[in-house]
Structure 1
Amino acid sequence: MTAEFGPVLRKFRKAAGLSQERLAATSGVSVEAIKTLESGRRRNPRSITLRLLGDGLGLTTRQRTELAAAASPTERARTPRQLPDDLVYFNGRGRQVAELERLFTAVERRPGVVLTSAVAGMGGIGKTALGVHVAHRVAERFPDGQLYLNLRGFGPARPMTVLEALGRLSVSLGLEAPEDPDDVHEAAARYRSALAGRRVLVVLDDAVDAAQVAPLLPGASTCAVLITSRRTLTGLPGVAHLSLDVLPDDEALRMLEVIVGDERIANDPVSALSIVRLCGALPLALHIAGGRLADQPTWTAADLNARLTDSRRRLDELSDGNRDVRASIEFSLTAGDTATVAAFELLGLHHGEELDLRVAATLLDLPIGETEERLEHLVDLHLLESVAPRRYRMHDLIRSYVQETTARRTDAASREAARLRVLRLYLAMAWRSRELNFQTQLATDWGVAAWTAAAGNLSMDEIFAWFDIEIDELAAAVRRAVDGSPAEQALVAKIVLGLLPYFHIRRRYPDGVALATIALATVGSDPFAAALTPYELAQQCGAAGLYEQAVDYMTLALQAPKTVEYAEQHAEAEIFLGEFLMELGRLDEAAASAHAGVARAASLGAEITEADGRLILGTIAGRQDLHTVQDQEFQRAVDVVRRRSTPQAAHYILLHVGISYRDSGQLLEAAAYFELCRTSALAAGYDHAVAEALEGLGQVELARSNFSAAEQHLRDALDIVQGTWQPEARIRELLGQVLAAADRRTEAEAEWRLALDLLVRHGSHRAADDVRGLLSTSDV
């Protein structure tokens, strides 16, 4: 029988007169490794270790043979070393490597508990590379061997059966064939018995599910198991789960550099970062892309970037014959049932960054519960990511795959039907919010009950909260519908007109202007849309300070037959036309239009519309220094507000009375009305109106040189509007003026730079020039 390796190594070391430390120095094998080998904790060194030890000890050929015999093939077969080679270009994943190492090198272990970690993630995310890398790093902790088995969970071949897996693992441990080769329970028991008392690391790669893995777990707490799977194996008790995400940019760029092997990545960081983004920072895609660049020495990083930019060809480019991103995604789908696969195909019609459950159910034409079940199955397969309750996200490359699959496996009619269902959902949500608080008789007569059916009994607050999350995709869907079928185009103006109150309440006027302009081009022969769309577009333009466009659109609205037919709508249009003319300094025209609207409203008994008109007339009078007329008109408007106005009309009128008094230098009166506006808006829950009232109070206190009070009002307003760029930029500019007036120049400059950044990013060039002027003045 061959001698144990440890005693043989110790014999030769002592004969050479070397300590373990000295042998480590002469051989290049670590002291820890030599101690492990001599103690018997590791009995079968690798061939490279044998050669280094022989060189360090100065052994003769005969002595080297004796040392090698102690690590004989017979013994090595019983001590498996099956780990695949570690990747030479493995990098990054520092946190995950450290987390797994801590788990597998823990000193204290509970008796009877097997250390088990399951690494999950989408195909191509680098689960196997991480698992093998960590296994190599901790291998010496398991001197009785390292087993590795690819369970073929997701791939072209069928997944490995439990019996087949047990057979292969048992053979690796040197077991004889069982008496009953078809008995899973017997095979599992023999496998666990072979591992009892041994320190073995078992790596189970590409598991299909928990049922496949459970019988393969050792029963000995001296062993450990590392599992990789595209599923999160929640069915395994006591398992430490680790979910892999795509690489951060710096690690992805480093991976590209290592794979390409020259300076092309470092020399063109812009193209390199674009390649990372186009690959979705997915390791598999980066390996393929980097490999293609390495194989084409005449290509630059920009050349590869150009080839990947075309989304229709990207998946074709990310294939090198041996590895294929498209195939990797398809392998994940093989584990899904027919219904889940069908759902996945239709999701290609969704273009947004995130997918809302309500939208998904509408797209698939399924109940919410059934849709959620299917989406969660896709999450389980790591084809979707659950980012929040009822919200999902898809990796960019998976989205590319789904979009091409949707185009290939569905016909034009079914795709149009799905898009129409989603547009009708958006219509329902938008029009429901409008009819709750913002409906006019003209809009009421246009709309039908079917428009809002899909919104159920949701409140305005619930719908607005949903819009806050969904609005960017909703707006994008509307833009796509303009180029869609006639049925899709017919919904554009209806959806936009339902959305405009949301844009008003959230003070997102530029968005309102952009969408309403698009909607105006789609009204066609619909007489209601032809009246309401230019009217609402004019309102959005006026709120955005685009008064010339506001005059043009309101004039167009006044010419629409339905505006003439609905007398109160006609009166409102005349009043608001007066407001826009007033802002352009055309005061006589403004007064004439507003007077006509007030007279029409008074004849109809439309008091709130009349109050709006008297607000405009009072403001015009203030600009003409007719303060007695100003006071009279404002008082009549406010009397109506206090008697019977809606909350939104109340704070609107109170705010603009305050603005008019402020502009005419009547600061005490202005402050009183701004405070009334703030109180009214607070009661109604209109946060942005509260912010506008605070902004007005800040302006009044600045004019009165009460800098501390002005600053507090404006900072309170900022707390409300941050994230809504237009009011935030305006308030920061004003706050800078307050700070500058208080001789706090550095703080003032900081606010102006923040305001300038917002204005430049959103293309507000005229306002940006005003702020640049403040920054360039000699006072600051």
Structure 2
Amino acid sequence: MLTLHRGGRKAEALRAYATVRGRLVDELGVEPGAELRGAYELILADESAPVVPRQLPPDLPDFTGRAEAVAVLALPHPVAVVSGPPGCGKSALAVQAGHALRTAYPAGQLYLELGDREPDDLLAEALRALGVAAPPPTTAERSALLRSLLAERPMLMLLDDARDADQVRPLLPGNDSAVIVTSRRRITELPGAALVQLGPLAPDEALSLLARVAGADRVAREREAAQAIVAACGHLPLAVRNAGTRLAARPGWSLSVLRQRLDDDWLGELREVRTGLDRGYARLPADAARTLATLGLLGPAAQPGWVIDAALGRHGAGDVTDLLVDVNLLDPVGTDEMGQPRYRVPDLIARHAGSQRGDPAAVGRVLAAWTATAEHAMARLPTTVFSLTAAGAPRWRLPGATLDRLTSDPVTWFEAEHETLSAAVETAAGNGAAESAWGAGRRDGAVPGPALPPRHLAEHPHHRPGRRPRGRRQVRRGRHAQGPRPGRPLPGSLRRGRRRLHPLPPHLPRAGRPQGGGHLDLRPRRGQPVPRPVRAVARPLQGRPDDLRGDRRQAG
């Protein structure tokens, strides 16, 4: 009856009512019920029955994990915001929660995909779904009408992929309705909103999701390969599901085949993930995109906040840091011993960012900042150390007050930054920056000779007797990439060092306080052999890098 009436066929709708009423009276001796009579009265008055939208997307039958978040969303909230990085399953969780709450809102459920759309367009879509054929012209009028309609009929609203709080506010109904918002941004500006922050799945949950999509038997047979696959996916639900569907579509593949393909080209294999990451990267302002690409090249170690200043070449880049944190592309991971906040780029995001077109100058500035800061910390150590200054390596200096604060306890600073300094050495070596690799590595103990005073070396948390420090191979690779080789000149600082050390005296050199811009003051002492750490440094300076390996093996 209502369908006929809404289609402009009022007479047919009334005849349908008369037919039904006649049969009820003749065969059962009863009049039509209240709902049928109400529809008949609406038709007589030329009114339409309220539209009941049922717009929630289908629930995922293989939804896995997120027990705590599901528990939070099981209770209706005036506003709940689910945020997290791309691919963490925000929309899947919201849809799961929406279906669980559906019976509590029989008047209807509205679903809007926000993206980059403007509020007036979204409001018009919502009003049309509620039966308003001609929404008012302005955003304010549309927002007011939506609140009026939902005040009488509270509904559940799911606002997916919100850009920011300004986009969401005009869409919020009045009291009694419930709203679930998903966003890549940490939206904290909506008063009273329940906040749910998502990250990767736990490893067991990611493995369970892969089994539900690809087949439990296949995962059980190749559990080690399955664990490697979910690790390569960063334990993100979208990536794991993408990998599982690849396996489900190729029953003849072993899991080891996909594991190898992910190792070779994970972006090519996980196309849905790449699309989402590309979209998030494209939304960033230029400074933030350039910074993310630079951070993606610096390795998995948590970086101090000032690294972003160096990447951008300006002091006080906290606005860019805050933006990357707000859009869940940079995770704050606490504060170190020196009181400076530290940040890490999530695994898949870092790998994707590292594949973007980076700024070599930004990477160079970060390396130059590490060199200058480590140099400043070395100068404040209480004990004179054996040191070769890479005079040709560039420097990018933090403000003096910042440097003094960071290196007020230089030993603690070196301990806190050991992993990041080693990662900087690897980055420098991988980019062919021999001088930066030598300078940063020398200060972190990546090349022979103590970077800390001997009395502190044994207490260093990363020190292992007889262990070659992590960065030596990268330092050697970076330095040999540019010399010394037959017919090629040594880098500037190494040429000056070679003039001082060649020919090497057959006696013990005493390393005094560095003279002449930081080079060694060597004075022979008769009757004692040259220690192996000194020979290990000296031989490459004499143009014999091939002899380096043996001496370093015993020098560590």
Mapping of 1:79-478 within 5 angstroms?
79-102=52-75, 104=76, 115-151=78-114, 153=115, 159-178=116-135, 181-219=136-174, 221-310=175-264, 313-319=265-271, 324-367=272-315, 369-370=316-317, 372-389=318-335, 390-406=341-357, 410=359, 415=360, 417-438=361-382, 440=384, 454=398, 456-458=403-405, 460-478=407-425
| Letter paired with 2:379 | E
Q: Provide the C-alpha distance between the structure 1 equivalents of 2:471 and 2:158, rounded to a whole number of angstroms.
A: 59
| Letter paired with 1:86 | D
Q: Provide the C-alpha distance between the structure 2 equivalents of 1:567 and 1:235, rounded to a whole number of angstroms.
A: 58
- 1:348-374 Cα offsets, whole Å, 9 max, x none, are 33223323222232233221x22x211
SS of the counterpart of 1:88? coil
Q: Provide the C-alpha distance between the structure 2 equivalents of 1:318 and 1:470, rounded to a whole number of angstroms.
A: 34
| Letter paired with 1:364 | L
| Letter paired with 2:144 | A
Mapping of 1:46-85 within 5 angstroms?
78-85=51-58
Q: Provide the C-alpha distance between the structure 1 equivalents of 2:61 and 2:520, rounded to a whole number of angstroms.
A: 79
| Letter paired with 1:132 | V
- Verify the 8 A CA contact 1:348 1:406 in the aligned structure 2: no
Q: How far apart are residue 69 of structure 1 and its match?
A: 6.7
Q: Provide the C-alpha distance between the structure 2 equivalents of 1:567 and 1:231, rounded to a whole number of angstroms.
A: 53
Unaligned 5+ segments in structure 2 are 3-26, 43-47, 336-340, 485-489, 534-556
- 1:198-252 Cα offsets, whole Å, 9 max, x none, are 2311111111111111011111x22111111111112211111111111101111
- 1:700-751 Cα offsets, whole Å, 9 max, x none, are xxxxxxxxxxxxxxxxxxxxxxxxxxxxxxxxxxxxxxxxxxxxxxxxxxxx
Partner residue in 1 for 2:19: none
- 1:173-211 Cα offsets, whole Å, 9 max, x none, are 223424xx3211111111111111323111111111111
| Letter paired with 1:381 | V
Q: Provide the C-alpha distance between the structure 2 equivalents of 1:271 and 1:227, rounded to a whole number of angstroms.
A: 36
Q: Provide the C-alpha distance between the structure 1 equivalents of 2:388 and 2:224, rounded to a whole number of angstroms.
A: 53
Distance 1:365 1:296, change over 3 A: same
Q: How far apart are residue 378 of structure 1 and its match?
A: 1.5
Q: How far apart are residue 567 of structure 1 and its match?
A: 11
| Letter paired with 1:85 | P
- Verify the 8 A CA contact 1:558 1:564 in the aligned structure 2: no
Q: How far apart are residue 78 of structure 1 and its match?
A: 1.7
Q: Identity of aligned pairs, percent? A: 31
SS of the counterpart of 2:355? helix
Distance 1:141 1:503, change over 3 A: farther
CA-atom RMSD in angstroms = 4.4
Q: Provide the C-alpha distance between the structure 2 equivalents of 1:225 and 1:477, rounded to a whole number of angstroms.
A: 46
- Verify the 8 A CA contact 1:119 1:244 in the aligned structure 2: yes
- Verify the 8 A CA contact 1:272 1:301 in the aligned structure 2: yes
Distance 1:530 1:169, change over 3 A: same
Partner residue in 2 for 1:526: 494
Q: How far apart are residue 91 of structure 1 and its match?
A: 1.6
Q: How far apart are residue 122 of structure 1 and its match?
A: 1.4
| Letter paired with 2:209 | M
- Verify the 8 A CA contact 1:431 1:452 in the aligned structure 2: no
- 1:312-337 Cα offsets, whole Å, 9 max, x none, are x1111102xxxx21220122234322
Distance 1:82 1:440, change over 3 A: closer
- 1:381-440 Cα offsets, whole Å, 9 max, x none, are 112212225321112221121111135xx4xxxx1x444433332222333233223564
| TM-score, length of structure 1 as denominator length | 0.53
Q: Provide the C-alpha distance between the structure 2 equivalents of 1:337 and 1:465, rounded to a whole number of angstroms.
A: 36
- Larger of the two Rg values belongs to structure: 1
- Verify the 8 A CA contact 1:207 1:228 in the aligned structure 2: yes
Partner residue in 2 for 1:505: 456
Q: How far apart are residue 292 of structure 1 and its match?
A: 0.4
- 1:670-714 Cα offsets, whole Å, 9 max, x none, are xxxxxxxxxxxxxxxxxxxxxxxxxxxxxxxxxxxxxxxxxxxxx
Q: How far apart are residue 295 of structure 1 and its match?
A: 0.3
Q: How far apart are residue 526 of structure 1 and its match?
A: 3.2
Q: Provide the C-alpha distance between the structure 2 equivalents of 1:445 and 1:71, rounded to a whole number of angstroms.
A: 90
Q: Provide the C-alpha distance between the structure 1 equivalents of 2:325 and 2:390, rounded to a whole number of angstroms.
A: 42
- Verify the 8 A CA contact 2:330 2:344 in the aligned structure 1: yes
Q: Provide the C-alpha distance between the structure 2 equivalents of 1:532 and 1:265, rounded to a whole number of angstroms.
A: 62
Q: Relative CO higher for 1 or 2, CA cutoff 8 Å, sep ≥ 6? A: 2
SS of the counterpart of 1:353? coil
Distance 1:471 1:445, change over 3 A: closer
- 1:474-515 Cα offsets, whole Å, 9 max, x none, are 113224534624444553565356971168615244488536
Distance 1:268 1:173, change over 3 A: same
| Letter paired with 2:246 | R
Unaligned 5+ segments in structure 1 are 3-59, 105-113, 154-158, 534-552, 581-780
Q: Provide the C-alpha distance between the structure 1 equivalents of 2:39 and 2:281, rounded to a whole number of angstroms.
A: 45
- Verify the 8 A CA contact 1:126 1:283 in the aligned structure 2: yes
Distance 1:568 1:355, change over 3 A: closer
| Letter paired with 2:105 | F
- 1:534-558 Cα offsets, whole Å, 9 max, x none, are xxxxxxxxxxxxxxxxxxx997863
- Verify the 8 A CA contact 2:81 2:193 in the aligned structure 1: yes
| Letter paired with 1:116 | V
SS of the counterpart of 1:501? coil
SS of the counterpart of 1:236? coil
Partner residue in 2 for 1:637: none
Q: Provide the C-alpha distance between the structure 2 equivalents of 1:436 and 1:520, rounded to a whole number of angstroms.
A: 27
Distance 1:434 1:557, change over 3 A: farther
- Verify the 8 A CA contact 1:557 1:563 in the aligned structure 2: no
Distance 1:520 1:440, change over 3 A: farther
- Verify the 8 A CA contact 1:197 1:222 in the aligned structure 2: no
Partner residue in 2 for 1:658: none
Which one has a larger percent helix, Structure 1 or Structure 2? Answer: 1
Q: Provide the C-alpha distance between the structure 1 equivalents of 2:188 and 2:143, rounded to a whole number of angstroms.
A: 21
